[in-house]
Amino acid sequence: MSKNQLIYNDFVITWIEYHKQFIKESTYANYRNIVDNHLAKDFFEVELNDFNNILLQKYVIKKCKYGAVNGGSLTVKTVKDIIVVLKLSLRYAFKNEYIDSFDLSVKYPKVTTNTKITIIPNKDISKIINEVNKSTDIRDCGIIIAILTGLRIGEICALKYSDICFKSNSISISRTLQRIYTKENKTKIIETSPKTSSSYRDIPLAMELKHLISGNSINDNFYILSNSVFPVEPRLLRKRFNYILKQSKTPHYKFHALRHTFATKCIEARIDYKTISVLLGHSNINTTLNLYVHPNASQKKKAITKLTSLMLNKY
């Protein structure tokens, strides 16, 4: 069979196994999941030579419509993630002269997003903290860490005592813990590098958190949430959080709401946006602004009043 008669679903399996050596294990797991559940199935027995810009554009529209028909199971972001993997495989095919060059650009349907982040009210935060203070389960200190630092749940679970400097009062973020899917359709826990290069960061250690952590027996190789060489995985910390919410008779919140609450409280405290972005480990300040900076009616009214006063006084 000639190169241009290669079938895509055969090619993409070979490509992803080759590409595996150049990416993180977690990235490979995500890519492999996309290949197995979408690309290999959607382009079953389609020849590489049949790929062109028209085919890609039709595929994008089809996948987005499928998501809409099936209750939004495929968001535009999910479709974009699928296309990223598809383009990577096709670029490899072009580089190795399996296909000719063509335009890979595609357009995505416009969607109206109403992303609303959940902020936990002060009264509920107080109830959560009070309940954690009554707990004897060491894993619950992860909840306090989230409240006072805004760390992602995987970053919290990966924290070791070696990441804490009690002299400079700082926390170093250099790992994350996550559960990934394997090609055998099973899952496993891995410890990997943070989400992005910006996620490597040092965060000041609050005195309240220092007292909480330093009270435990310290071994540099021990994980903070277990005080042993074995980590506490994210889903177990989520279960502990749900338990604390139930015990404190607090409404249900997702664990990630603690990170949203931390960021929002930083803004309310008038901390500059760049500092907040660095603390959160965002890749750029625009991520922080788009997620958390949404002026309310009172702030907009104040802005117009100031501007009106300035304009009338000047002219």
pLDDT tens, residue by residue, 34-45: 999 999 999 988
Q: Indicate the average pLDDT of the chain.
A: 88
Q: At residue 89, does pLDDT exceed 90?
A: yes
Burial degree of 301 (CB within 10 A; 0-12, 13-18, 19+): exposed
Is the domain of 129 the same as that of 239?
yes
Residue 36 lies in a domain: yes
User: 46: domain CATH number?
Assistant: 1.10.150
pLDDT score, position 251 = 96
Is the domain of 129 the same as that of 64?
no
- Which residue among 60, 95, 130 closes a domain? 95
Question: CA-to-CA distance for 119 and 43, rounded, in angstroms?
Answer: 42
User: 217: domain CATH number?
Assistant: 1.10.443.10
Among 118, 135, 77, 115, smallest CA distance to 259 is for 118
Q: At residue 286, does pLDDT exceed 50?
A: yes
CA 61 to chain centre: 26
Count structural domains, the chain.
2
Domain range for 174 is 122-253
Residue 214 lies in a domain: yes
The total of other beta-carbon atoms located within 10 Å of residue 206's CB is 16
Q: At residue 298, does pLDDT exceed 70?
A: no
Is the domain of 127 the same as that of 87?
no
Residue in the structure block whose two tokens are 């899917």:
181
Question: CA-to-CA distance for 25 and 275, rounded, in angstroms?
Answer: 31
Helices 273-280 and 257-268, axial angle in degrees (round to 10): 160
Question: CA-to-CA distance for 205 and 39, rounded, in angstroms?
Answer: 45
pLDDT score, position 183 = 65
Burial degree of 30 (CB within 10 A; 0-12, 13-18, 19+): middle
**Percent of the chain surpassing pLDDT 90:** 57
Helices 285-292 and 273-280, axial angle in degrees (round to 10): 100
pLDDT tens, residue by residue, 92-137: 998 888 887 767 788 888 765 556 789 999 999 999 999 999 999 9
Is the domain of 59 the same as that of 161?
no
pLDDT score, position 290 = 84
